[in-house]
């Protein structure tokens, strides 16, 4: 998928798929599927590093995940099992709230690590930064609704846009992001009707997570959809029972070793 395909997909009414990924081995596997794009999200802080929010991760750490994902996708490209994937690197907490230089430094490390675009949360107060990033030739994805970097300001991980005032503000922000040149907007945890309205009003695609079925695409955290995170959010569908599968394999390895069945002579050197 290339940048121009994003708007085309909306015009063609063909859904866009995105999953998070933070490492090379799962990136190689995703690259060999029809999933369209990969988000190297700041959710890496929680999923990969065990923090209880996305706040602690910095640009260098996300860039190192971007580089790993980029290498994993490249493995599949080299094997001719994939044509590559569109990679979006998440700008971490406060990296775009301390002025242009700090923001552009963050963009630089993410793009040099292999991202094809960056994503940032919210809009009010950093409109000039969005404009500057887009003006520098770097595609920008917006992220509205439940913006996890503002968890303390929002009073928790809660659905956003139930009140008329916030719903109006979210629609205005989405339109302004489009005006500033964003190529797509993630809508996280907003009521279905509001996500539908925003999707109808925008010419750029919306990507939903907990935003109902009317968005132009859907994103899920890889470990959630694989059943590896233990998260039971209403909006997550477990497409596999990855945890049971991994435990079964580990128990089988342990049992085979204890019973001296592993390794056998075919698995050993003369």
User: Could you list the residues that contact ligand KIV (CB under 6 A)?
Assistant: 20, 39, 41-43, 90, 143, 186, 188, 209, 219, 221
Q: How far is the CB of 260 from ligand KIV (least distance, A)?
A: 44
* DSSP conformational letter for 36: -
Q: What is the CB neighbour count within 10 angstroms for residue 254?
A: 11
Report the C-alpha gap between 239 and 249 in whole angstroms.
19
Catalytic option among 108, 188, 243, 267? 188
Q: How far is the CB of 58 from ligand KIV (least distance, A)?
A: 14
The answer to whether 16 and 23 are in contact (CB under 8 A) is no
CA diameter of the chain: 74
188 flagged as catalytic: yes
Q: How far is the CB of 119 from ligand KIV (least distance, A)?
A: 7
Tokens in use for 74? 């490249």
SS3 27: helix
Closest CB to ligand KIV among residues 10, 143? 143
Closest CB to ligand KIV among residues 58, 77? 58
SS3 232: coil
The residue nearest ligand KIV at its CB is 41
Closest CB to ligand KIV among residues 50, 270? 50
The answer to whether 7 and 204 are in contact (CB under 8 A) is yes
Q: How far is the CB of 21 from ligand KIV (least distance, A)?
A: 10
Closest CB to ligand KIV among residues 44, 129? 44
Residue whose entry in the numeric block shows the structure tokens 């994937």: 85
Catalytic residues: 188
């Amino acid at each position: 998928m290339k940048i121009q395909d994003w708007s085309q997909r909306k015009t063609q009414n063909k859904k866009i798929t995105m999953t998070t990924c933070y490492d090379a081995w799962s990136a190689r596997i995703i690259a060999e599927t029809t999933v369209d794009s990969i988000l190297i999200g700041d959710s890496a802080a929680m999923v990969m590093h065990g923090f209880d929010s996305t706040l602690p991760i910095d640009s260098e750490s996300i860039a190192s995940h971007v580089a790993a994902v980029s290498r994993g996708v490249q493995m599949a490209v080299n094997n001719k099992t994939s044509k590559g994937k569109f990679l979006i690197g998440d700008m971490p907490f406060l990296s775009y709230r301390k002025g242009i230089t700090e923001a552009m430094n963050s963009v630089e490390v993410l793009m040099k690590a292999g991202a094809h675009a960056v994503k940032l949360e919210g809009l009010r107060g950093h409109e000039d930064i969005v404009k500057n990033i887009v003006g520098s030739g770097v595609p920008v994805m917006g992220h509205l609704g439940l913006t996890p970097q503002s968890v303390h300001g929002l009073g928790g991980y809660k659905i956003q846009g139930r009140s008329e005032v916030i719903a109006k503000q979210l629609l205005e922000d989405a339109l302004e992001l489009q005006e500033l040149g964003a190529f797509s907007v993630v809508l996280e945890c907003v009521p279905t009707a509001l996500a539908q309205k925003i999707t109808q009003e925008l010419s750029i695609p919306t990507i939903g997570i907990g935003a109902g079925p009317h968005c132009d695409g859907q994103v899920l955290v890889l470990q959630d959809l694989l059943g590896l995170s233990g998260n039971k959010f209403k909006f997550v569908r477990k497409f596999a029972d990855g945890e049971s599968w991994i435990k079964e394999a580990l128990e089988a390895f342990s049992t085979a070793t204890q019973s001296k069945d592993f390794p056998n002579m075919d698995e050993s050197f003369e």
